[in-house]
Amino acid sequence: MAFRKSEKVVLIGNSHAAVAVIETLRREGFQGHLTLVSEEKLPVFSPTALPYLFASKEKGSRCLRPVEFYHGLSVIQERAVSIDPDRSQVIVESGARLHYDRLVLATGASAAPVVLDTASGDQAFTLRRAPDLERIEKRAKRSRKILILGGGLIGLHLAEVFSEEGKEVLVLELKDQILPGLVHRELSGVLIDHYERKGIRIRLGSSIKGIHDHEAVLSSGESVGADLVLAAVGIRPNVEIVRDTKVAVREGILVNERMETNVNGIYGCGDVAEYRDFFTGRSRLNPNVISAAEQGKRAAESIMGKGEPHPGVISINTFRCMGWNLFSLGRFEPDGGDVMLEELNEETGSFKRLVFRDGTMKGMLLLNCPADGGVFYNLIRRQVPLKGMEERIFGDPLRWGKRLSCQERS
Ligand SMILES: Cc1cc2nc3c(=O)[nH]c(=O)nc-3n(C[C@H](O)[C@H](O)[C@H](O)COP(=O)(O)OP(=O)(O)OC[C@H]3O[C@@H](n4cnc5c(N)ncnc54)[C@H](O)[C@@H]3O)c2cc1C
């Protein structure tokens, strides 16, 4: 659908994906009318910033974008409750109806809830938006023992924050490793030792049955003290807004290589969107900031009738674990026929694994090894031929990353 200058674009959501939509539209010379519907009051915080904001007195300086960023847009600080694709309208909480020619859904995700007491409906605390932070901060002040459900990126980040505040922290992870999907089992073991040396206890294959009077009963039947229970056990894409409409949803809103849904003029991007995996072609969520920003950019380019089709989502994560730096990219578990190079240096606490297939890069895992992750992400996405260079890249990923990115640009 060709873009007309007088068009009205309505954008729902106000985080990484939405910001990328706005920035890209501006860069591409958008001259239509843009309305942002944000349930959060301006300025907003990125969910990724929240763990850093506990006890921070300078919260304001860490917002995602300053309020001036929104100048020139119509901003509606309300929750959008539903859409009516037949009339091309968004309905907001006050009952007002907003007409659109194009609609971008960037509603992100919420933390998956964990009910601790089925009788009272009491839930574990979760962290996704600024008000969650205030609730947790208030409770944490009165808490000495913190129980964290989920040994993923968010759970471990919270464990680190509270441990550094002198709390006693226990992490329960249902699977047989921490950071599932981000590292393999062996590296999980190395990281667990590291956390435990720093005073954070981690139990694998474990969950909580219930809690009563600051005593949590674990799946093993054992009781442990818990003044505060925090859950970080996954996400739920915020798809309610399109429920019972003709917009197709699986786990997330299904989008194509131009971030279009199955309904003409409606786009989805970020944690709420589900798109095909770069390697398998199967549709999946890819909840991380790089993907949200990239999809937001693609959605805006599609609106402007520009840009390349999205090649498929690739997992990418950088994570700091108690002073150690972890980088995880693409498919780091080798399949038959893949070339895998790997080295663990126990003296320096460093690990690297690079996986190649048919002379192109497929994935990498780095612990305490310097490298520019963005360069390797692009080498995968563009399927840059690297045949014969595997050993040299493995020998010095930082130097070769720089070299290859210069070659790419020239
Ligand atoms: C504690 C924490 C730490 C994280 N750390 C990392 C990390 O280190 N690296 C990384 O890559 N990712 C990390 N993530 C994930 C990352 O934050 C998300 O992938 C990213 O925020 C997704 O951006 P988004 O714009 O798609 O959605 P979201 O950030 O979820 O934003 C959605 C926006 O839409 C708004 N909204 C939703 N529904 C409505 C509605 N009906 N009406 C109006 N507005 C609505 C919300 O209020 C929000 O502003 C972390 C997440 C958390 C919670």
Same domain assignment for residues 80 and 106: yes
Q: Name the token pair of 386.
A: 């690297």
- Total residues belonging to the chain: 410
- Quick check: CB of 231 below 6 Å from ligand 1? no
What is the helix (H) or strand (E) element at residue 216, kind and residue range? strand 215-218
From the CA of 410, how far away is ligand 1's center (Å)?
Answer: 35
Choose the weakest-confidence range: 81-85, 337-341, 347-351: 347-351
Q: Could you give the angle at which helices 289-303 and 16-27 cross, rounded to 10 degrees?
A: 40
Inside any domain, residue 311: no
Residue 402 structural domain: 323-409
Atom of ligand 1 nearest to the CA of 273: 26
Same domain assignment for residues 69 and 12: yes
Same domain assignment for residues 152 and 211: yes
Phi, psi torsion values for 10, nearest 5 degrees: -110, 130
Atom of ligand 1 nearest to the CA of 78: 43
Shortest-distance Cα residue to atom 18 of ligand 1: 288
Average confidence score pLDDT of the chain: 94
CA angle 34, 37, 43 (to 5 degrees): 100
From the CA of 13, how far away is ligand 1's center (Å)?
Answer: 9
For the stretch 214-227, pLDDT in tens is 999 999 999 999 99
Torsion of CA 135, 141, 142, 145, to 10 degrees: 100
Same domain assignment for residues 222 and 121: yes
Same domain assignment for residues 121 and 97: no
Provide Rg for the chain, Cα atoms: 23
Shortest-distance Cα residue to atom 12 of ligand 1: 288
Per DSSP (E only), the strands in 23-178 are: 33-37, 74-76, 80-84, 89-92, 97-99, 102-105, 109-111, 115-117, 122-123, 145-149, 168-173
Q: Shortest CA distance to 103 belongs to which of 181, 1, 191, 199? A: 1
Same domain assignment for residues 118 and 221: yes
Shortest-distance Cα residue to atom 20 of ligand 1: 289
Same domain assignment for residues 103 and 117: no
Inside any domain, residue 313: no
For the stretch 162-171, pLDDT in tens is 999 999 999 9
For the stretch 57-77, pLDDT in tens is 666 667 999 999 999 999 999
What is the torsional sign of CA 357, 362, 366, 371? positive
CATH of the domain at 69: 3.50.50.60
Same domain assignment for residues 66 and 130: no
Q: Could you give the angle at which helices 373-381 and 397-409 cross, rounded to 10 degrees?
A: 50
Inside any domain, residue 316: no
For the stretch 348-394, pLDDT in tens is 889 999 999 999 999 999 999 999 999 999 999 999 999 999 999 99
Inside any domain, residue 143: yes
For the stretch 93-130, pLDDT in tens is 999 999 999 999 999 999 999 998 877 778 999 999 99
Final residue of a structural domain among 204, 233, 262: 233
- Quick check: CB of 171 below 6 Å from ligand 1? no
- Pocket test residue of 10, 21, 46, 48 for ligand 1, highest count of atoms within 8 A of CB: 48
- Quick check: CB of 17 below 6 Å from ligand 1? yes
Same domain assignment for residues 121 and 54: no
Pairwise CA distance, residues 276 & 282, whole Å: 5
- Quick check: CB of 235 below 6 Å from ligand 1? no
Same domain assignment for residues 219 and 138: yes
Inside any domain, residue 314: no
Which residue is associated with the tokens 């997992």?
A: 315
From the CA of 109, how far away is ligand 1's center (Å)?
Answer: 6
Three-state DSSP at 345 gives strand
Three-state DSSP at 391 gives helix
For the stretch 3-25, pLDDT in tens is 677 799 999 999 999 999 999 99
For the stretch 36-52, pLDDT in tens is 999 999 989 999 999 98
Same domain assignment for residues 245 and 101: yes
More confident residue, 405 or 100: 100
Query: How many structural domains comprise the chain?
Result: 3
- Quick check: CB of 12 below 6 Å from ligand 1? yes
- Pocket test residue of 46, 241, 255, 288 for ligand 1, highest count of atoms within 8 A of CB: 288
Q: Shortest CA distance to 199 belongs to which of 240, 173, 170? A: 170
CATH of the domain at 379: 3.30.390.30
